[in-house]
Amino acid sequence: MTRSNSFQIEVLSPAIGALVRGVNLAEPASDDLIGEIRSALLAHKVIFFEGQDFTPGQQRDFAARFGDLHLHPLYDRNDAHPEIMIIDNHVDNPTDNNFWHTDVTFIETPPMGSILAARTLPPTGGDTMWASMSAAYDALSAPMQRFLEGLEAIHDFAYAFTAQGLAGSQAGRERYEKAVAENPPVTHPVVRCHPETGQRGIFVNSVFTRRIKGLRREESQALMTFLNAHVQKPEFVVRWRWRSGDVAFWDNRNTQHRAVDDFLPHRRIMTRATVLGDRPFFAPTA
């Protein structure tokens, strides 16, 4: 157990994950406390808070201390606080978050982080897993690192989201078509440098990355298959078993995550606030 000025930190695995004790996220936080939480996030990539009781409005206010918030073009939003996205999974709406991904890489400035709160949980199951993309990058051989560092990839909203499921209603179809029109494919480096720590990390994912630029189709597919398997090695992963009142805050710039789809027919409701980040870049060492 280590200690910051304001809270205690229990490290959960060498690569990723820490439990933060002694913070009430519902209370307005001082700039110092926000700075300490940011430092814990940078050090551990995903941090967990237990026993929280914060409203969607308080979740939005806490998230907004870290940057502007993203409005998801497709997912349901809280009526009073549209920055709060609702993930409500049940038999008629099974989870679609059960694939490894980094949030919203289909925009020019993908999120710096996301804050996820458990609202309704199944009796068991419905865990979430996170993987460190800098640990995954560090574990590659030097020749593979050099090869990847020269590459860029296309990330595409329409690759991840299809009209299926929304096609039943005119409003659903229109929302989807508007989202596709407003989110054309974007290009990001395959390896990005973290803007605050400088750490390098793999920045492609199975959900939003359509292809690697400059490679033949079968080369891109083979490389993506390798990377998508590599990033989920248990050495890079922490798994969180949710309890009522838990909140997770992850650094979306060097992690991937996925929900575990094992809880139907029970219901699981989570709310997420998503903090926008900056344009990913790769800077070669001099």
Please list the active-site residues: 101, 103, 257, 272
Site string for ligand SIN, 215-254 (x = CB under 6 A): ----------------------------------------
Nearest approach, Cβ of residue 128 and ligand SIN (Å): 4
| Nearest to ligand SIN of 119, 144 (CB atom) | 119
| Nearest to ligand SIN of 105, 128 (CB atom) | 128
Nearest approach, Cβ of residue 94 and ligand SIN (Å): 12
Nearest approach, Cβ of residue 99 and ligand SIN (Å): 9
Query: How many chain residues are in contact with ligand SIN, going by CB under 6 A?
Result: 10
Cα–Cα distance measured from residue 145 to residue 91, given in angstroms and rounded to the nearest whole number: 42
Site string for ligand SIN, 116-145 (x = CB under 6 A): x-----------x-----------------
Q: Which residues, numbered 92-111, are part of the site for ligand SIN (CB under 6 A)?
A: 97, 103
Tell which one of 41, 46, 270, 276 touches ligand SIN (CB under 6 A). Answer: 270
Q: Is 70 in the site for ligand SIN (CB under 6 A)?
A: no
Residues in touch with ligand SIN (CB under 6 A): 87, 97, 103, 114, 116, 128, 257, 259, 270, 272
